[in-house]
Amino acid sequence: MARRKKGDPVSGWVCLDKPYDLTSTHAVSRVRRLFNAQKAGHAGTLDPLATGVLPIALGEATKTVPFLMDADKTYRFTIAWGRTTATFDREGETIATSDVRPTPEAVAAALPAFVGEIEQVPPAYSAVKVDGERAYDLARAGETVELKARAVTIHALRLVGASDADHVELEMDCGKGTYVRALVRDLAEALGACGHVSVLRRTRVGGFTEARAITLEKLEDFGHKAALSEALLPVETALDDIPALAVTAEDAFRLKQGRPIVLVPRQVEALKARLAPGSRTVSAMADGVVVALCEMRAGRLEPARVFHLNQSGD
């Protein structure tokens, strides 16, 4: 007899506004406890010193985490000039200082060189694995960490403002794997200055935006009012970039059994026109609820991930 899972079968996404000085793992644990959910996970780690959008998946939504991990993101951050730290943020040990204070005009002029597909070396204090170990664990142990450059994409980089000569605020739209701290390191070097990230906030992860984000305090308040469901977004929220196909109840039943369904030619052509280059993934929907994530092959939809949701999404 199978063991009964602890917690409730809650499914959906919470767009959390992560507070300062809280790890992503602890944030997930607190949200999971509030909902008493059986399963939980997050899409894209935020440093403890960063705030902002941290999408947290509950229940069946955890099956869609990989799709959100690949989503574009937006960050708003402040550079403090005059000091470079080992971690490239304000908590790190100072490793260099400088009296150079780049003007906003100089910063703006340097930004285009960092837009597009660029090579970026991740910070030594990062979650990148080196021989099975996290780079930040090796760095904290005093070991020299040498990471290889990798291609990342920065779609846009904007100068937002400068409150004084010591600080400048930027906003960045980027693809997965881009490090704000590495960008600040390289930008400061290009400007002949020392600098580090003093404030960092993520304002968007795919379709999860700052406007949709909810604080832990508000969630806890909802919990006292038994209104947590108001903060729960549908499982398919993470699938905004994946074309959806409405299927019949009969086809939905087949997909849930792990069996493929046959498409008519007009469905194939319509889906091909909406698929991203190189992608075959389609979400099958029945009565507005996601049934399965499928791969389209040879005129058929083959289920890859099946969801067990009722009409209310839980």
Sign for the pseudo-dihedral over CA of 142, 143, 148, 151: negative
CA distances from 313 to 56, 258, 282 (A): 16, 20, 19
Quick check: is 241 catalytic?
Answer: no
Contact residues for 48 (Cβ-Cβ < 8 A; gap 6+) = 20, 21, 22, 23
List the Cα angle 134/139/145 in 5-degree steps. Answer: 85
Q: Are 54 and 75 in contact (CB under 8 A)?
A: no
From the candidates 8, 17, 21, 47, which is the catalytic residue?
A: 47
Contact residues for 98 (Cβ-Cβ < 8 A; gap 6+) = 81, 82, 83, 84, 192, 193, 194
CB neighbour class for 197 (10 Å; exposed up to 12, middle 13-18, buried from 19):
buried
The set of catalytic residues is: 47
